[in-house]
Chain A
Amino acid sequence: MLRENTWRAKLFDLTLLIVLLLIAFLCLLPLWYTLAVSLSEKSAAAAGRVWLWPVGLNFNSYKQIMGDGSFFNSFWISIQRVVLGASVTFFITTLMAYPLSRSTKEFRMRNVCMWILVFTLLFNGGLIPWYMTIKELGLYDTIWGLVLGGGVPVFNVILIVNFFRNLPKELDEAALVDGAGPWRMLLTLYIPLAVPVLATVTLFTIVYHWNEFFHGLVLTSGQENYPLQTLIQQFVVVINTANMTEDQYKRMSELSNQTLNAAKIFIAMVPVLIIYPFLQRFFIHGITLGSVKE
């Protein structure tokens, strides 16, 4: 790159740096604010006196959550959902991606299967038929409804397929000469080589299952089966405002327990914040590699 050392160039660089840092700061600000509110005194938060630092630092909200059985119950459901969802999805999508990465010469039905897969991405039956189907299958109110209800993550399959297709053909031939069948080829050759893309899609799946709230709402009958995001959605975010006037709405938002809600929201963010560094390491690499076609 070119370097200029005039004062104008330096001013340009400095302005740029400040603007970019401000924008980055703007992305963190709401999260930081939530943490500050969760650690503040109730009255200070309600009066709007909390900014970037807790006012009257205390851990009462977190202590209160410790004694909240339904919060822990939902947390546990979310953990189960993430573990089952990530492993089932990993197993099925990897297995699917291998035959779909073959050429039509090796696997004649490859393109037909691929088009069926892509078609489900382009067209769907809509909410009501989907809901009726899940009910008919007996998945309503079970953990499997939450694990499988989102359907096959077609984009992930396509990412893995494209990655597999970009691996050198010579590897394939060498393994073939050694007498390896499709299963050995997948297990000992393709999976180890595809770690970047597999890690990417698995981390995406984990985040998806942790964040998803809507299936938790419509596929379960009540609070005792809600995953964490649904619980928070129902008791923190959505306030029943039907037939409320503006004044009632105002009073209602003043009455809500801000510090406790902020603490719940923050706890629900923590797992994503923990896996985020790992996620970040992989996803740029994984996405750009997987989306390039040969």
Chain B
Amino acid sequence: MRNQSFTKHYYIMLLPGFIWLLLISIIPMFGIVIAFQDFNPGKGFFQSEWVGLDNFEYMFALNDTPVIFFNTVFIAVMKMIGNLIVPLIFAIMLNELRMMIVKRWIQTIVYLPHFLSWVILSGILLDVFSYTGPINTVMTFIGLDPILFFARADLFPFIIVASDVWKEFGFNTIIYLAALTSINPSLYEAAAIDGAARLRRMWHVTLPGLRTTIVLLAVLSLGNVLNAGFDQIFNLYNPLVYSTGDIIDTWVYREGLLNMQYGLATAVGLLKSVVSFILIIVSYQLASRFANYRIF
């Protein structure tokens, strides 16, 4: 009756979305056959020569491979830690602020950088950290030698992590602030009666109240171990910092689309996709077991 006649309409409603999904997301999944071919765009998927695992063998023989994997994991893990802890501290501080109007203004301001693109922010950062920019002016003023920040491979990963934390910490506080509202106020009163001062109450009431949220966010971020942030690095790096700043995604872009090493680049991309997939599945399993988390 009702169910059957409605089901037809449900499929019609899903149709445009699933066509879009098929064309842009699902068909490219079959394109991973390129990783096992000596792909020639002129010949296409079907006529290109099959080479088995040659692309993977070549990949592991390359000197670049361990470097880009190390850089990716190093930058991504530092970002994960920074983006977990800095927003947490900021949210707890903001939660202690009694002036509601000031609080709202601060929130509005710190969320803003999240909505600006890395193109824009990179343009600004390159200027601020340039040889004659404000940072170097300050350094000269206090008697230090100016530094060409974006030519220094040893500093590059740290600039990347710091600027990413700067951009995202405000937005990342949202989830902590939401969790903070669910802490029972009588816990604070009880702690105060027991003689706990402000800092002790933050330590013994606020922090434990956020434990589940912290664990959940930490676990879910596991899936990003191989995502070091393409947009950001692509806009900030240059050949002088490839040794510490080149990551899987930027390398795949250069080898694949600029140097037209289609098979090799697809193989590296596939390896990344598979590892990420496994990590995400594991992290969701953990999240559903420990925090009862479900995506839908």
Residue of B nearest to A161 (CB): B296
Knowing A30-B125, A244-B240, A293-B296 are in contact, say whether A151-B25 is a contact too (CB < 8 A).
yes
Interface presence of A71 (CB below 8 A) = no
Nearest-neighbor residue (CB-CB) of B260 within chain A: A128
Q: In the bound complex, do residue A254 and residue B132 qualify as a contact, i.e. CB atoms below 8 Å apart? A: yes
* B-chain residues with CB within 8 Å of residue A92 when the two chains form the complex: 16-17, 20
The reply on A152 being an interface residue by CB < 8 A is yes
- Which chain A residue lies CB-closest to B261? A128
- Of the candidates A128, A236, A272, which one forms a contact with B269 in the assembled complex, judged by CB atoms under 8 Å apart? A128
With beta carbons under 8 angstroms apart, the residue of B7, B235, B265, B269 that contacts A237 is B235
Cβ of B219 to closest chain A Cβ, rounded Å:
15
Contact of B134 among A48, A106, A129 (CB under 8 A): A48
Say yes or no for A242: interface residue by CB 8 A criterion. yes
| Cα separation A2 to B197 with both chains bound (whole Å) | 11
Size of interface on A: residues with Cβ below 8 Å to B:
111
CA distance A126 to B257 in the complex (A): 12
Find out whether the CB atom of B127 lies under 8 angstroms from the CB atom of A34.
yes
How far, in whole Å, are A239 and B266 apart by their CA atoms in the complex? 27
Total contacting residues, chain B, CB less than 8 A: 100
Of all chain A residues, the one with the shortest Cβ separation from B16 is A92
Q: Which of B13, B122, B256 has the most CB of A within 10 A?
A: B13
Interface centre among B14, B23, B30, B111 (most CB of A within 10 A): B14
| Alpha-carbon separation in the docked complex, A133 to B33 (Å) | 13
A16-B96, A244-B239 known; A30 vs B21 contact (CB < 8 Å): no
Are A181 and B273 interface neighbours, CB within 8 A?
A: no
Min C-beta distance of B149 to chain A, whole Å: 10
Q: Contacts A118-B296, A232-B119, A261-B127: A128 and B31 contacting too (C-beta < 8 A)?
A: yes
Chain B neighbourhood of A66, CB < 8 A: none
Contact between chains at A249 and B148 (CB < 8 Å)? yes
Q: In the complex, what residue of chain B is closest to A19 when comparing beta carbons?
A: B93
Q: Which residues of A contact B24 (CB under 8 A)?
A: 130, 133-134, 148-152
Interfacial chain B residues near A93, Cβ < 8 Å: 17
Measured between beta carbons, the chain B residues less than 8 angstroms from A214 are 230-231, 234
Q: A33 near B272 (CB under 8 angstroms)? A: no
Say yes or no for A123: interface residue by CB 8 A criterion: yes
Contact with B along A97-137 (1 / 0, CB 8 A): 01110100111100001101110101111111111111001
Q: Select one of B9, B137, B198, B273 contacting A126, CB under 8 A.
A: B273
Against B, the Cβ 8 Å flags (1 = close, 0 = not) of A1-41 are 11010000100110011011101101110110110010000
Q: Which residues of B sit under 8 angstroms from A37, Cβ to Cβ?
A: 127
Q: Are B231 and A213 in contact (CB under 8 A)?
A: yes
Cα distance, A281 to B185, chains bound together (Å): 26
A133 is contacted by which of B2, B31, B123 (Cβ under 8 Å)? Answer: B31
Give 14 A-B contacts (CB < 8 Å), ordered by A residue.
A24-B109, A33-B128, A47-B132, A50-B134, A95-B17, A96-B17, A102-B10, A127-B249, A137-B23, A148-B23, A176-B2, A211-B115, A237-B122, A244-B238
Residues of A within 8 A of B (CB): 1-2, 4, 9, 12-13, 16-17, 19-21, 23-24, 26-28, 30-31, 33-34, 37, 46-48, 50-51, 91-93, 95-96, 98-100, 102, 105-108, 113-114, 116-118, 120, 122-134, 137, 148-152, 157-158, 161-162, 176, 181-183, 186, 207, 210-214, 218, 229-230, 232-233, 236-239, 241-244, 246, 249-250, 253-254, 258, 261-262, 265, 268-269, 272, 276, 279-280, 284, 287-288, 293
